[in-house]
Amino acid sequence: MNEMTLTALSASEDFQNALAEYLPEVKKSNIDFSFYLENRFIDKYCEYCRMPVQVVDFLRETAALIARNKLLKDFFDFCVYHQKNTPSGSPGYTNWPSLLEEAGKHRGAIYMLAAMSIIPEAIEGYRKLNVDESIIRDTMLQFSGFCNNHIQNCGFPGILKDQLPWLRNHRDNIIFRLVRLEFKLREFHGLAAICRNRSGVTVAFLEDGTQLDHHGYVLGKDNPCPDEKSWHSTFAITDKYISGNPVSPHGYVLRESVSLDLSDWEIIMQPGDMVIDMHIPPGGGLSPDATRNSLNQAAQFFTTRYPEKNLKAIYCRSWIFNTQFEELLPQSNLAEFMRQPYLFPVSCKGDDGMFFVFCTRDYSDIRKFPRQTSLQRAMLEIVESGRKLRSSGMFYLINDLEHFGHSYYRKNFLI
């Protein structure tokens, strides 16, 4: 669907075909989506997700608006059906209508009510997995976190349509919030190898031939900007040696190549290995105690539940680990968090993180963007100076978690 008003969309062939597709399925399943607009449903699951009473009242008003408008009700049913049935990994909802014309301040709340339709099944699924109720309730905080983001950036309760696909992780019971952070399993990628010697020193390498800028950061596919100073990383394995340009734990690749003797070094992780994939949900800060406790609980939770996966590391790729933030916000909890894992460069678009911090994809006039937080001010300072925003990857080996808080990889990066 192309971006348009719902009124125009309802007359389009795309929408009529979509309705024709979902209506027989709804009829066969004998589901009445009106249940998700009832006050008892809204009250029960807002309380479970710990949403404030003001949000509950607003969602009740939105539900009444939907119930008395056939066009909005048809679209709401359409959204619920997709949220319940669209497989994880399918395209998102970027081109769906904003609903501004039809719903005004309630536009984001319509999407939130559709999002909430998956909560009962999600809770039941987690319970069948014998997940502690406290962990389930914490995991469902993602709904209120997205709602708070919408309030801060749009002025009213709701959820951005672009964030709906993420909640499929909760629907499918594959993500768990442990203390402050969220975690799920995934295959490791982004590095050619993580190596370790007998003394416990860790060294990582990018794939051979990765294009880098003159600082050692990966040039993005969408914004390559190669120049005479760009270069390519090297990596090779022989019977006796591992050689290439090592990644500094600070998050960039060193130009000076190294050769590691396999009699003293071994490859402990390669692409395809399973890792504990970390995500940072909105709200709650990143205090050292909260992040330490999250990582420790994640390691215990996943290694206990999935011993056959041979999990060795917690891993993340995110705009949060933009090394520019460490320079601009050196005293922040975010910078302190970034000093703990082993960082590595990844491909970036140049606007990394803007959507998550400002909740919009329209960057045509950033002079109007809010500058209420130090993070917002830092991001805008980078963009307004003509630089590109970056993302980074990170890993923290489970066996090294006892050293968390001591910048272990940076202090022990001696080859």
In a domain, 1, yes or no: no
pLDDT at 14 > cutoff 70: no
Same domain, 82 and 101: yes
* Residue at which a domain ends, from 111, 141, 174: 174
In a domain, 286, yes or no: yes
Q: Flag the least confident range among 259-263, 265-269, 369-373.
A: 369-373
Nearest-angstrom CA–CA distance, 382 and 388:
7
Tell me, rounded to whole angstroms, the distance of Cα 354 from its chain centroid.
13
Q: What is the mean pLDDT of the chain?
A: 91
In this prediction the pTM is: 0.92
Nearest-angstrom CA–CA distance, 141 and 94:
23
Same domain, 252 and 204: yes
One-letter amino acid for residue 215 of the chain: H
In a domain, 92, yes or no: yes
Same domain, 229 and 125: no
Q: What is the CATH number of the domain that holds 408?
A: 3.40.630.120
Same domain, 206 and 160: no
| pLDDT tens-digit series, residues 224-250 | 556 678 999 999 999 999 999 999 999
pLDDT at 394 > cutoff 70: yes
Determine the average pLDDT of the residues in 280-287. 90
* Residue at which a domain ends, from 174, 191, 213: 174
Domain containing 125 equals 6-174
| pLDDT tens-digit series, residues 308-364 | 999 999 999 999 999 999 999 999 999 999 999 999 999 999 999 999 998 888 898
Same domain, 239 and 281: yes
pLDDT at 265 > cutoff 90: yes
Buried b (16+ CB within 10 A) or exposed e, 21-60: ebeeebeeeebebeebbeeebbeebbebbebeeebbebbb
| pLDDT tens-digit series, residues 139-198 | 999 999 999 999 988 899 999 988 999 999 999 999 999 999 999 999 999 999 999 999
| pLDDT tens-digit series, residues 47-92 | 999 999 999 999 999 999 999 998 899 889 888 988 998 888 777 6
In a domain, 367, yes or no: yes
Nearest-angstrom CA–CA distance, 30 and 305:
36
The pLDDT-based confidence of 386 (bands split at 50, 70, 90) is very high
In a domain, 61, yes or no: yes
In a domain, 281, yes or no: yes
Same domain, 376 and 252: yes
In a domain, 391, yes or no: yes
Same domain, 308 and 407: yes
Same domain, 399 and 261: yes
Same domain, 35 and 130: yes
pLDDT at 262: 96
Total structural domains within the chain: 2
Q: Parallel, antiparallel, or unpaired for β 202-205 and 211-212?
A: unpaired
In a domain, 378, yes or no: yes
Same domain, 170 and 186: no
pLDDT at 2 > cutoff 60: no
Same domain, 129 and 180: no
Any bridge partners for residue 218, and if so which? 212
Nearest-angstrom CA–CA distance, 314 and 204:
15
Same domain, 319 and 183: yes
* Residue at which a domain ends, from 115, 149, 174: 174
pLDDT at 12: 61
